[in-house]
Structure 1
Amino acid sequence: MNDLPLLGAAMTVADLEQLQDFILNEHRDLELQDFCVQGALDRDWRPAAERARVLLSGYRGRLGIHGPFWGLHIASSDAEIRKVVRRRMMQGLDVCEFLGASQMVIHSPYTSWDYNNLDNAPERLSYQSVLDLTHATMDEVVYRAEQIGVTMVVENIMDKDPDIRRILVDAFSTPAMAVSVDTGHAHYACGSKGAPPVDYFIRRAGNSLQHVHLQDADGYADRHWALGEGTISWHAVFRAIGELTSQPRLILELRDKSGILPSVAWLRARHLAR
């Protein structure tokens, strides 16, 4: 049983107060989500970070945070917006450095509209222009991440193309950029937008995949249900994960944190993860 993948979880510091033993007993991967809440980076975020450090005394797992994302687009064509996004990303890296976190989740710039339109008017918007704009926003941020040992993982949000974020990450040619797959977002794209199924997103990311948000859904909306409540084929997902050597962090990201322990039990009962 111990050869099964070890699950981690996403939560706030307040949730960690309740789930400290779950994380620390096996040094599970942890993603702190206090610092992506709207307004969090405009307030003093250090008390929450300091409390996390106390709760994680002796912790040897892999620590990450969810970076800022509300209202932010890493490939904006507006130079002033890019300045704001860059500043917010730098603030997220400040948190990582303070905590000693080694990973920060950021959001993909791609949408299902892009899937149908990036080849439609290349003089205005194209695959290359999105890459160029992302570089314009993120080059300084990526350099800073390299210096402090943080990998930014690009999560699918409205992506329909399972390859496109890997291509974006490859364009930076640095270990400071990698791919994240959110299973519920991929399932929504499959069920509502005609994208491939979730395991295809995993497999097509290949060893660029270093982070997975595990949540169940119905293919219609972004549910963040406990695992087993929706219609994702988890056997297919974990078969695809098992083909990788990159050892992505497997982070349960549930709306109701009381579903974390039952989700672990559900996967363990099916000999998929522990």
Structure 2
Amino acid sequence: MSSLPILGAAMPLSSYEVHKDLMLEKQRDLELQDFVKGEVLNGDWQPLAEHAKKLLDGHKGRLGIHGPFWGFTIDAMDPEIREIVKKRLLQGLSVCEAIGGTHMVVHSPYSTWDFNNLDNNDKGRERKIEACHLTLHEAVKRAEDIGCELVLENIEDKDPYARIELAESFGSDAVKISIDTGHAHYAHGSTGAPPVDYFIKAAGNRLRHIHLQDADGYADRHWTLGEGTINWHSVFKELGRLNSDPRLIVELRDVSGLPASIANLEAMGLAQ
């Protein structure tokens, strides 16, 4: 990575219209949030995709989507539920293909309970990975075919390495690692996980995507960068060691904080 990397952002199309000049001035990477809900994916989403393509005319940064995640996990054991999850992931990839998206965020299946219990059962880790393969194998093949990366984002993950083991088990360049700084900071502050920079160090050059949000180590705040207690210098020190060129996606609860987030990190000499 360069010494002063360019920040991208996650937002719905309605917010892109507001922040279009900011996103285009440095051709920032973009992650669209309009396609996470089953109601959208089950409906006629093609007009929305066409609107996205027209609105994004002139945008040359990397483009992707946050994939569907509400109400399910990718290690679903019930075969009927698994079919719904498979359908949602394939629907998300169809959106990526339609808009030219090259990444889709997929939520990690690892919970705090897993950290304490996977090794309490014979082959617990192997069974969890097997369940994820049953769900994801078609999506991985589809992602390979359309040139899209499925990036596995930490949610409750206390162990930075379990998700990496899962990603590598597919043996595919289409399955990579994502880190959410606020989720990692929550896990560090509330469940005893390592700090955020340790998550980055664990991922190494398998890291292709990062959600940048500030938090307090207690909850999933998605605050403006600089408003919480994350040590951004340690985060960007580890990012600076990588050559995998991860997308640096600012993901805020209130997208109006995007300009301030960029300005705050620029004032720290960390990003632009």
- Cα displacement string for residues 233-268 of structure 1 (whole angstroms, at most 9, x for unaligned residues): 000000010011101000000000110000000000
**Which of 256, 270, 274 is the aligned partner of 2:268?**
270
Task: Name 2:48's counterpart in structure 1.
Answer: 48
Q: Secondary structure at the match of 2:210?
A: strand
- How large is the Cα RMSD of the aligned pairs? 1.0
Shift of 1:77: 1.2
Query: Equivalents in 2 of 1:42, 1:17: separation in Å?
Result: 25
Structure 1 segment 168-179 matched on structure 2, within 5 A: 168-179=166-177
Task: Name 1:21's counterpart in structure 2.
Answer: 21
Q: Does structure 2 retain, via aligned residues, the 8 Å contact 1:24–1:56?
A: no
Shift of 1:58: 2.4
Q: Which amino acid aligns with 1:95?
A: V
* Structure 1: tracts of 5 or more residues without a match: none
Query: Equivalents in 2 of 1:119, 1:112: separation in Å?
Result: 13
Task: Name 1:161's counterpart in structure 2.
Answer: 159
Query: Equivalents in 2 of 1:270, 1:38: separation in Å?
Result: 40
Q: Does structure 2 retain, via aligned residues, the 8 Å contact 1:214–1:252?
A: yes
**Which of 178, 189, 192 is the aligned partner of 2:190?**
192
Deviates more, 1:38-47 or 1:215-224: 38-47
Deviates more, 1:54-63 or 1:96-105: 54-63
- Cα displacement string for residues 145-202 of structure 1 (whole angstroms, at most 9, x for unaligned residues): 1000000000000100011111111101111100000000000000000000000001
Query: Equivalents in 1 of 2:85, 2:132: separation in Å?
Result: 11
Q: Does structure 2 retain, via aligned residues, the 8 Å contact 1:13–1:48?
A: no
Q: Provide the identity percentage.
A: 57
Deviates more, 1:22-31 or 1:99-108: 22-31
* Structure 2: tracts of 5 or more residues without a match: none
Shift of 1:38: 4.7
Q: Does structure 2 retain, via aligned residues, the 8 Å contact 1:74–1:138?
A: yes
Task: Name 2:209's counterpart in structure 1.
Answer: 211
Query: Equivalents in 1 of 2:54, 2:23: separation in Å?
Result: 14
Q: Which amino acid aligns with 2:174?
A: A
Query: Equivalents in 2 of 1:37, 1:31: separation in Å?
Result: 15
Query: Equivalents in 2 of 1:270, 1:254: separation in Å?
Result: 19
Q: Which amino acid aligns with 1:223?
A: R
Shift of 1:47: 2.3
Task: Name 2:10's counterpart in structure 1.
Answer: 10
Task: Name 2:245's counterpart in structure 1.
Answer: 247
Q: Does structure 2 retain, via aligned residues, the 8 Å contact 1:107–1:155?
A: yes
Q: Secondary structure at the match of 1:39?
A: helix
Q: Does structure 2 retain, via aligned residues, the 8 Å contact 1:20–1:55?
A: no
Query: Equivalents in 2 of 1:129, 1:154: separation in Å?
Result: 18
Q: Which amino acid aligns with 1:148?
A: I
Q: Secondary structure at the match of 1:88?
A: helix
Task: Name 1:92's counterpart in structure 2.
Answer: 92
Q: Does structure 1 retain, via aligned residues, the 8 Å contact 2:30–2:64?
A: yes
**Which of 100, 113, 127 is the aligned partner of 2:125?**
127
- Cα displacement string for residues 69-125 of structure 1 (whole angstroms, at most 9, x for unaligned residues): 0012111111111111000000000100000000000000100110000011226xx
Q: Secondary structure at the match of 1:101?
A: coil
Moved over 3 A (4+): none
Query: Equivalents in 1 of 2:160, 2:94: separation in Å?
Result: 30
Deviates more, 1:160-169 or 1:35-44: 35-44
Aligned length: 271
Q: Which amino acid aligns with 2:238?
A: A
Q: Which amino acid aligns with 2:52?
A: A
Q: Does structure 2 retain, via aligned residues, the 8 Å contact 1:8–1:28?
A: yes
Q: Does structure 2 retain, via aligned residues, the 8 Å contact 1:142–1:177?
A: yes
